[in-house]
């Protein structure tokens, strides 16, 4: 499944204006992620994890250097093109599940497909398939407030995965989950990664999450401290 570069970060620097000066969040980062990787960015607060995820997720662009995602240079994309890239190819999983409270589980997952104008019959098939991946097909009609934390996060995974994106970016996905739920969602994501070949990129400092990763990029003060290739425990 791991064939070819999907994300290429070349000499990326990101600076933010702070008062009259500047804060450098990323310093000359060089990274390459292959299709189908299950990797994580790890580091303390302020190490640049979220900034790097923002750039890879086409939510932000580098101040210097090139970030190529699926062959597209993020710096050169317009707002619309960035939105289209996210819409078609990138899924997001947040720390808080961020489900739309007035819609059912089914509708929350369906929303990602509505943005792509996929016909209803196809949408229905895809949504139910995604809910089956995360084991929540029977809860399709439930509202988010009737779900447990683990179930909510699994709906968020289904929403990110339903469009079968090439890349899924997960920002601290276990932050609000207990150990059992953390393992459950990680197993689900690992299966999806293996079955669909989706590249998963995490930002985490949770040891439990790290245990599932094939690769851990350690960041400190905006620079890559260590790029650690490991064999995931699930595969061992």
Partner 1 sequence: MIQFLLKGILRDKSRSILPIVVVSIGVALTVMLSAYMKGAFGDMIDQNARFETGHVKIMTKAYAENKAQLPNDLALLEVDELIESLEKDYPEMQWVSRIKFGGLIDVPDEKGESKGQGPAAGMAINLFDEESGEAERMNIESSLVKGAMPQKNGEAIIGHDFAKKLNLNIGDEITYFGTTMNGSMTFQNFVVSGTIRFGAAAMDRGAIVVDVSDAQKMLDMENGAGELLGFSKLNAYDDEQVKELADSFNKKYADDANEFAPIMMPLREQNNLGEMIDYSNYMSGIFVFIFVFAMSIVLWNTGLLGGLRRYQEFGIRLALGEAKGTIYRRLIMEAVLIGVIGSIVGTMIGLAGAYYLQIVGIDISGYMDNSTMLMPSVLRAKVTPELFFIGFIPGLLAMVFGNMLSGIGIYKRETAQLFKELEV
Residue 168 touches partner 1, criterion: CB under 8 A:
no
- Tokens for 182, please give them: 């953390």
Distance CA 212, CA 186 (A): 7
Binding residues for partner 1, total number by CB under 8 A: 33
Q: How far, in Å, CA of 111 to CA of 13, rounded? A: 34
Binding mask 70-99 for partner 1 (x = CB under 8 A): ---------xx-xxxxxxx-x-x-xxx-x-
Classify 17 as helix, strand or coil: strand
Nearer to partner 1, 111 or 218 (CB): 111
Region near partner 1 per CB under 8 A, out of 27-35, 67-75, 108-116, 205-213: 108-116
- Measure the CA–CA gap between 14 and 174, rounded to whole angstroms: 27
Q: Write down the least CB distance from residue 15 to partner 1, Å.
A: 13
Q: How far is the CB of 57 from partner 1 (least distance, A)?
A: 8
Q: DSSP string spanning 40-106? A: EEE--TTSSHHHHHHHHTTSS--SEEEEEETTEEGGG--HHHHHHHHHHHEEEE-SS----TTS-HH
| 72 versus 103: smaller Cβ distance to partner 1 | 103
Binding positions for partner 1, rule: CB under 8 A: 50, 53-54, 57, 59-60, 79-80, 82-88, 90, 92, 94-96, 98, 100, 102-103, 107, 110-112, 114-115, 159, 171-172
């Amino acid at each position: 499944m791991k064939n070819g570069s999907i994300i290429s970060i070349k000499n990326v620097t990101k600076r933010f204006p702070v008062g009259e000066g500047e804060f450098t969040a990323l310093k000359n980062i060089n990274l390459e992620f292959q299709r189908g990787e299950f990797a994580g960015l790890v580091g303390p607060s302020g190490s640049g994890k979220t900034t790097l995820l923002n750039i890879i997720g086409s939510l932000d662009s580098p101040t210097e250097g090139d970030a190529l995602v699926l062959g597209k240079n993020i710096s050169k994309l317009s707002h619309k093109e960035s939105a289209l890239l996210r819409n078609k190819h990138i899924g997001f999983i947040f720390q808080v599940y961020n489900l739309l409270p007035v819609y059912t589980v089914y509708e929350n997952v369906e929303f990602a497909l509505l943005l792509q104008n996929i016909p209803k019959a196809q949408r229905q098939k895809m949504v139910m398939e995604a809910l089956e991946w995360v084991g929540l097909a029977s809860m399709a009609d439930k509202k988010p407030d009737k779900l447990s934390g683990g179930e909510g996060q699994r709906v968020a995974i289904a929403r990110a995965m339903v469009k079968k994106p090439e890349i899924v970016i997960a920002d601290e996905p276990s932050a609000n989950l207990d150990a059992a739920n953390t393992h459950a969602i990680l197993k689900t994501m690992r299966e999806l990664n293996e079955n669909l070949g989706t590249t998963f990129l995490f930002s985490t400092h949770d040891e439990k999450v790290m245990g599932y990763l094939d690769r851990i990029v350690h960041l400190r003060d905006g620079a890559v401290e260590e790029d650690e290739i490991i064999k995931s425990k699930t595969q061992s």
